[in-house]
Amino acid sequence: MANRVITYSEAVREAIAQAMEADSNVFMLGEDIGIYGGAFGVSGDLYHRFGAERIRDTPISELGIVGAAVGAALVGMRPIVEIQFSDFTSQAMDQIVNQAAKIHFMLGGELSVPMVLRAPSGSGTGAAAQHSQSLETWFAHIPGLKVVLPSNPRDAKGLLLAAIDDPNPVIVLEHKLLYKTSGPVPEEPFRTPIGVADLVREGKDLVIVATGVMVSRSIAAADQLKEQGIKATIIDPRTLSPLDMSLINDAIAASGRVMLVQEAPKHVGFMAEVAARIAEGPALYSLLAPVKRICGMDIPIPYAPQLEKAAVPQIEDIIAGAVALMREP
């Protein structure tokens, strides 16, 4: 069944089900995840399979939801929190940043918080400024949090199962536009290691480092660039914290050119951190041109479809960036 094809949302749901079947301490909590099946339909039939005690519908209080999960994790449970939109984590930042991320350190390692927080992220659904943000840099900045951005169904399952196993809090950001995409996913439980980047494809001319939905857009762009004689390596970090730079550095050493692609705004975005690590490391001496960033505009996400599309990188923007980078002396 290694070549079985399912959707991203089915892969997430399967991971949760397999984790719950294997460990009675795993449970899920969030708004409308029960009979309704989740805001994006991810929890689906889990309520009917596992019951109200383990698929717990909550009041509309993100602070309370995450606080309950932190408390449950501290006494040995393994909660999976679903926040309807990643934007709403702003209501729970005290519990995420000041409690979940710090308790293990502040108590000298005596207690851990094995909590997973999942949230739909990104733009493209016409949900406007308060429901369409890419906030991964917020979480990646906080010591004590691990942050993963699965870009395909296989990693959606493997990274989530690894996150559930982890003794530390893990933030899993799932791009809304990826939920209906399909790909091969093994049926058996498997883990994708947290902190290991993925070499999506190899090319000799430049390196594209992309996250989330920008990985599939970079693949589409690379297909068109190949027709112009430009062959691109694509790397998906998969995990922002911890960040695997070894694969990126090796690829830059081979090609000399690198382009960093993210949906989030450019200013203080995560790709600025990647660029800084390139500048501080051995890859700097392999560069034939300055590091190029293709990012979202520094504006709130608009509601109007044409403006929403213009606010974040599209396939044509990645192509144009790559062509310009290849022209650099």
Start-end of H helices in 171-314: 213-227, 246-255, 270-280, 305-311
Pick the catalytic residue: 31, 104, 131, 175? 131
| Cα gap 38→41, rounded to integer Å | 5
**Contact by Cβ (8 Å): 293, 326:** no
Structural tokens at position 38: 């989740």
CB atoms within 10 A of CB 313: 24
Q: What are phi and psi of 76, to 5 degrees?
A: 105, -5
Structural tokens at position 19: 């984790």
Q: Is 62 a catalytic residue?
A: yes
| Cα gap 29→284, rounded to integer Å | 45
Pick the catalytic residue: 62, 82, 174, 308? 62
**Contact by Cβ (8 Å): 89, 136:** no
Cα distances (Å, whole numbers) of residue 306 to 71, 82, 215, 309, 311: 44, 30, 22, 5, 9
| Cα gap 194→17, rounded to integer Å | 20
Q: Is 131 a catalytic residue?
A: yes
Q: What are phi and psi of 227, to 5 degrees?
A: -65, -20
Residue 128: strand, helix, or coil = coil
HEC per residue, 236-259:
ECCEEECCCCHHHHHHHHHHCCEE
Which residues does the annotation mark as catalytic? 62, 131
